[in-house]
């Protein structure tokens, strides 16, 4: 009954003009009849309004190319969107590491929900409609129609990171080892990867072109996005953190394990922007190589991951993204676990900790 009523209501306003009047979304790709020829009914036919419709409707066009012709076999081909214009995101979502749009929890989505979640017990979910509002989105305004938290008010978003903070920021239901990304990227922190603002360090000597700490010349890239690190492992896939063969939905491999010999592939993500040669020749931290490669003689320790010392996002406490991995590093004999910096661009500091049986009380560099 509910469904019939809604469909009847839709039938009355079956034109984008009627539905969109005064809403300013006439640029929307999916309400453009040259791109989505069947209009509202394309999606709103047997559509579950309660749960955002799910991914199955979207992948008719954004999935394996055979789906489009099967689903619309009665429609002459010239009225269908051209395969070549459609972005196939299904392949990435079927990979090992992905946003769970095909999992049953995706159906927890509600059009009326307010994010970030305030109930710690609420199950986490992600469906296409959580990240895309198809009534509004266009190539020019990909996040149009999605609301996020700006300081304390909930309003429309314009930046990718605001989308992510809906679920990976102040959400009360963050899972296990997850951290609050809004807190880590805050530009008031001592250090952060430059997503929301330009970075704090003026001597990131390892940076590869076109990356620069600050924008001096027009070719410099001094800001990066979540999508520069999170996305498909296949560079020709559509953009977006849909899925990847790499853990944590990363564009390149990154191992967070301790005690394994260094190889370019292990930390390929970092080496995309930071010169491996610079890091391993100790251009900044003079004991980088010692820790990353391990000792060559007199010890069985094979080397550790960047993750043992650095957070990939930001640090609310330290400069240089220093955040010790407590599964590997512990307090020293005096019960201290801390990093002390001794002046920016001087490459000097002190560490108080214990690691692989070596007490640092402190160790200076």
Determine contact, residues 130/109, Cβ cutoff 8 Å: yes
Residue 201 binds ligand HEC (CB under 6 A): yes
Minimum separation from the CB atom of position 34 to ligand HEC (A): 9
Determine contact, residues 239/226, Cβ cutoff 8 Å: no
Residue nearest to ligand HEC (CB): 199
Minimum separation from the CB atom of position 335 to ligand HEC (A): 20
Report the residue from 156, 284, 316, 354 that binds ligand HEC according to the rule CB under 6 A. 284
Report the residue from 7, 39, 337, 359 that binds ligand HEC according to the rule CB under 6 A. 39
Interface positions, 56-95, toward ligand HEC (CB under 6 A): 57-62, 81, 85-87, 89, 93
**Residue 116, preceding bond cis, omega within 30 degrees?**
yes
Residue 116 binds ligand HEC (CB under 6 A): no
- Number of residues binding to ligand HEC, judged by CB under 6 A: 119
CA trace torsion 272, 276, 279, 283 (10° rounding): -110
Beta-carbon contacts of residue 319 (< 8 Å; ≥ 6 apart): 190, 191, 200, 201, 341, 344
Instruction: Tell me the chain's radius of gyration from C-alpha atoms.
Output: 24
Collapse the DSSP code of 84 into the 3-class scheme (helix H, G, I; strand E, B; otherwise coil) and give the result.
Answer: helix
Closer by beta carbon to ligand HEC, 89 or else 332: 89
Residue 149 binds ligand HEC (CB under 6 A): no
Q: Which stretch binds ligand HEC (CB under 6 A): 151-159, 265-273, 294-302, 356-364?
A: 265-273
Minimum separation from the CB atom of position 171 to ligand HEC (A): 8
Give bridge partners of residue 350 from the DSSP assignment.
340, 364
Q: Which residue, 181, 183, 165, is CA-closest to 117?
A: 165
Query: CB neighbours (10 Å) of residue 114?
Result: 11
Lookup: tokens for 200: 């704090």
Q: What are phi and psi of 326, to 5 degrees?
A: -70, -10
End-to-end CA distance of the chain: 73
Residue 164 binds ligand HEC (CB under 6 A): yes
Residue 232 binds ligand HEC (CB under 6 A): no
Minimum separation from the CB atom of position 109 to ligand HEC (A): 6
Q: Which stretch binds ligand HEC (CB under 6 A): 150-158, 284-292, 294-302, 330-338?
A: 284-292
Report the residue from 157, 232, 240, 258 that binds ligand HEC according to the rule CB under 6 A. 240
Report the residue from 111, 154, 197, 358 that binds ligand HEC according to the rule CB under 6 A. 111
- Which run of H or E residues covers position 244? strand 243-244
Q: Which stretch binds ligand HEC (CB under 6 A): 149-157, 204-212, 293-301, 330-338?
A: 204-212
Cα–Cα distance between 36 and 85 in angstroms, integer? 11
Beta-carbon contacts of residue 82 (< 8 Å; ≥ 6 apart): none
Residue 163 binds ligand HEC (CB under 6 A): yes
Residue 13 binds ligand HEC (CB under 6 A): yes
Return the ∠ at Cα 240 (arms to 108 and 249), rounded to 5°.
Answer: 80
Residue 108 binds ligand HEC (CB under 6 A): no
Determine contact, residues 167/101, Cβ cutoff 8 Å: no
Report the residue from 92, 157, 229, 353 that binds ligand HEC according to the rule CB under 6 A. 229
Cα–Cα distance between 170 and 180 in angstroms, integer? 6
Q: Which stretch binds ligand HEC (CB under 6 A): 149-157, 276-284, 294-302, 330-338?
A: 276-284
Interface positions, 334-353, toward ligand HEC (CB under 6 A): 341, 347, 349
Residue 119 binds ligand HEC (CB under 6 A): no
Closer by beta carbon to ligand HEC, 123 or else 333: 123
């Amino acid at each position: 009954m509910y469904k019939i009523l809604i469909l009847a209501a839709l039938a009355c306003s079956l034109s984008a003009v009627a539905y969109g009047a005064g809403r300013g979304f006439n640029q929307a790709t999916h309400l453009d009849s040259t791109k989505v020829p069947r209009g509202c009914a394309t999606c709103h036919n047997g559509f579950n309004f309660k749960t955002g419709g799910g991914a199955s409707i979207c992948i008719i066009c954004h999935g394996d190319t055979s789906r489009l012709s099967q689903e619309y076999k009665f429609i002459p081909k010239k009225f269908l969107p051209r395969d070549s214009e459609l972005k196939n995101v299904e392949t990435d979502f079927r990979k090992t590491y992905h946003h769970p749009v095909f999992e049953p929890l995706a159906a927890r989505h509600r059009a009326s929900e307010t994010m970030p979640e305030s109930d710690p017990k609420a199950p986490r979910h992600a469906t296409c409609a959580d990240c895309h509002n198809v009534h509004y989105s266009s190539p020019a305004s990909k996040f149009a129609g999605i609301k996020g938290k700006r300081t304390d008010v909930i309003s429309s978003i314009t930046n990718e990171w605001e989308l992510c903070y809906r679920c990976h920021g102040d959400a009360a239901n963050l899972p296990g080892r997850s951290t609050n990304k809004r807190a880590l990227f805050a530009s008031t922190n001592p250090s952060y990867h430059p997503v929301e603002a330009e970075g704090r360090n003026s001597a990131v000597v390892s940076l590869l072109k076109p990356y620069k700490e600050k924008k001096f010349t027009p070719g410099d890239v001094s800001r990066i996005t979540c999508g520069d690190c999170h996305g498909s492992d296949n560079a020709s896939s559509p953009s977006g953190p849909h899925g990847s063969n790499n853990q944590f939905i990363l564009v390149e491999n990154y191992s967070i394990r301790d005690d394994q010999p260094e190889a370019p592939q292990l930390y390929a993500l970092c080496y995309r922007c930071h010169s491996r040669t610079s890091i391993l020749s100790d251009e900044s931290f003079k004991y980088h190589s010692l820790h990353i490669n391990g000792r060559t003689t007199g010890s069985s320790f094979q080397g550790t991951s960047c993750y043992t010392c650095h957070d990939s996002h930001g640090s609310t406490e330290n400069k240089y993204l220093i955040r010790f991995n407590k599964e590997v590093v512990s307090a020293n004999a005096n019960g201290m676990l801390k990093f002390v910096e001794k002046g920016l661009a001087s490459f000097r500091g002190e560490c108080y900790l214990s690691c692989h049986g070596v007490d640092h009380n402190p160790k200076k560099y």
